[in-house]
Amino acid sequence: MLSFFTATATNAQNFVPPTQLHLTYPPLQHTTTSDRLFFIGTAPKDGQVSINGKVVSRTTAGHFAPSLPLQIGENIFQIKYSNPTSDRNSDKEITVKVVRESRITLPPKGIGFIENSLFPVVNIAKQPNERICFEAIATPNAKVLARIGDLEIPLLPRRRNIQLPPNSSVLTGNNEAIAESPSGYFRGCATFETPSQLGQPEYEMRLGDRLVKQKAQGSVEILSPKKLQIAEVTATADARTGASTDFSRITPLPQGVKALVTGKQGEWLRLDYGGWVRERFVKVSDTDTQPRSLVRGISTRTVIDKVDPHNIWTEIVIPLECNVPISISQSDRTFTLTLYNVTAQTDTIAIVPESIINKVEWLQSDSDKVTYTISLKPKQQWGYKVRYQGTNLIVSLKHPPVLSTANREIQPLNGLKILLDAGHGGNEDLGSRGPTGYPEKDVTLIVSKLLREELQNRGAKVVMTRTDDIDLDLAPRIAKIEQEEPAISVSLHYNALPDNGDAMNTSGIGTFWYNPQSQDLAKFIHNYVAQKLQRREYGVYWNNLALVRSTVTPAVLLELGFMINPDEFEWIIEPQQQKLLAKTLADGITEWMMNAAN
Ligand SMILES: [Zn+2]
């Protein structure tokens, strides 16, 4: 599953199917903002399961997964199993308390402000004349203003607020913006010309003869164009479109990149090219100039990988005066590299014939930015790496794997390195769980091992991130992919849904990819498994998941079915079906590889 909910640890290593009423989800005390919630569980086939007195439908195996509506506030659910025909006293009851919270912050009940609603919550720094909007949630109908420096900024009530759905709404089919009329939301904007430390804004609200004053937690600074600060990236830095992890990732900045700091928000710095990075990934120092560079000739070379001589790379070498920020995008047969804070003097480009590059075109699209569009010979891209060596930018593009022609009929994947990553593991990370409580981590390991065997039989060299029931974070899994640089990387998972999903009626295989080089593999395996095994399709999704972000290889994450769907769960745990699935996956991978690598 993706990270919708954190599974609570049970003694899954001694897993026994429940012999009485068992509730997998939700936990006995649960808090959510969803307007409905599914109940996943099982009970002996004979007899009845009811929730708050209403009998729920169950599969022939006895599993249930109904979705029930939630009121704002506390909801109590009595889940009851009874078997009138049994003379044993088998009745069992489970009580669940679910608190549904409002998605939006409600205004204070008394007179005053909502703590943490006063902007800014953390210290911020902006350029002179950048617009800054001050916001507060206060008692409706009050008169609200913010005082900062020598300015008094009136805040007006917002009549309409558009509430964006969370990203996960894409997966439950409720992806629409909702217009709400919140009461108590106030906003007013201003600009500041003079560089200075303005301190914390003080908010003031009047209602009748009552006056309440409160300072925001963060302060506002206007940066001086005369006192420049430079940030140098000390370890590959995640860059984002804004100052929190809620904002999208953009191309990570390689170690050594230098750029001016143009804004600050809490622990985040905005760099001159537009991206935001965390303070801890950079070293900040004073400077008197912006780091800029000319770009002249570009050369290429091919290198054989020192770690794995099977891997050959085309390297593009771009000498620069300093390590400027970059971004990368890929599409069919093109690899596009953008350099910021540069001016092109590019007149000569050399492409070695044994490289995978067809041609390089460039464009100075504005005074600060040059884009190099690299057309490639192979129809499939197999991975890339970017680094600074001194002030030379080196971009490495992986060549297609060479499939051995020997023994091709029996071992078509001869010599090819494939990485398999069995999702979750250990006592802390069970993944999602089926109606009986059976954990995702067990079935991902079983199917990964079956798939390993199938791929090895076809000649592949298979590397696994785990072969036992161990705790394994995302970081070591990603490190393994980066270190092994396999021909492809496949992560195996089984799915669940956010609280507002429909567990009874959602099923099928889902496939996730991130870098465009992985899309064709994702689509092919997805369609192959769905067609050959006649499985329903949940869909192929672009998704920013850690295990598919690595750039050194095409990487896909498969969600091979829904643990929480009572019918699909039976298919998921059936040993014969697991074998058939592993064989089908291996056939699909082989067919894609034979086609893509040639
Ligand atoms: Zn999972």
Say how far apart CA 49 and CA 68 lie, in whole Å: 14
Cα 565 to middle of ligand 1, angstroms: 14
Cα 558 to middle of ligand 1, angstroms: 9
**Quick check: 14 pLDDT over 70?**
no
Cα 355 to middle of ligand 1, angstroms: 39
pLDDT at 1: 63
- Average of pLDDT values for 109-118? 90
Question: What band does 2 get if pLDDT is binned at 50, 70 and 90?
Answer: low
| Closest CA relative to residue 491, chosen from 463, 516, 517 | 463
Q: Are 386 and 254 in contact (CB under 8 A)?
A: yes
Give the rounded percent of residues in the chain with a pLDDT score beyond 90: 83
**Quick check: 101 pLDDT over 80?**
yes
Say how far apart CA 490 and CA 416 lie, in whole Å: 14
pLDDT at 85: 76
Cα 543 to middle of ligand 1, angstroms: 14
**Quick check: 16 pLDDT over 80?**
no
| Chain mean pLDDT for the chain | 93
Cα 211 to middle of ligand 1, angstroms: 52
Cα 557 to middle of ligand 1, angstroms: 9
- Average of pLDDT values for 82-100? 82
pLDDT digits (tens, 9 = 90+) for 252-300: 999 999 999 999 999 999 999 999 999 999 999 999 999 999 999 999 9
Cα 502 to middle of ligand 1, angstroms: 18
pLDDT at 60: 93
Q: pLDDT: is 158 or 549 the higher one?
A: 549
Say how far apart CA 420 and CA 128 lie, in whole Å: 51
pLDDT digits (tens, 9 = 90+) for 482-519: 999 999 999 999 999 999 999 999 999 999 999 999 99
pTM: 0.92
Cα 527 to middle of ligand 1, angstroms: 20
Say how far apart CA 222 and CA 132 lie, in whole Å: 10
Say how far apart CA 507 and CA 63 lie, in whole Å: 15
Written as six digits, the tokens of 109 are 């009940």
**Quick check: 523 pLDDT over 80?**
yes
Say how far apart CA 386 and CA 330 lie, in whole Å: 14
Q: Residue 520 is inside which H or E element, if any?
A: helix 519-532
Question: What band does 12 get if pLDDT is binned at 50, 70 and 90?
Answer: very low
- Average of pLDDT values for 303-327? 93
**Quick check: 10 pLDDT over 70?**
no
**Quick check: 163 pLDDT over 90?**
no
The owner of tokens 């769907």 is 565
If DSSP codes are grouped into helix, strand and coil, which group holds residue 521? Answer: helix
Cα 2 to middle of ligand 1, angstroms: 5
Question: What band does 170 get if pLDDT is binned at 50, 70 and 90?
Answer: confident
pLDDT at 11: 41
Which residues are paired to 285 by β-bridges?
230
pLDDT at 66: 97
Give the rounded percent of residues in the chain with a pLDDT score beyond 70: 96
Question: What band does 6 get if pLDDT is binned at 50, 70 and 90?
Answer: very low
Q: pLDDT: is 537 or 11 the higher one?
A: 537
pLDDT digits (tens, 9 = 90+) for 425-456: 999 999 999 999 999 999 999 999 999 999 99
pLDDT digits (tens, 9 = 90+) for 353-378: 999 999 999 999 899 999 999 999 99
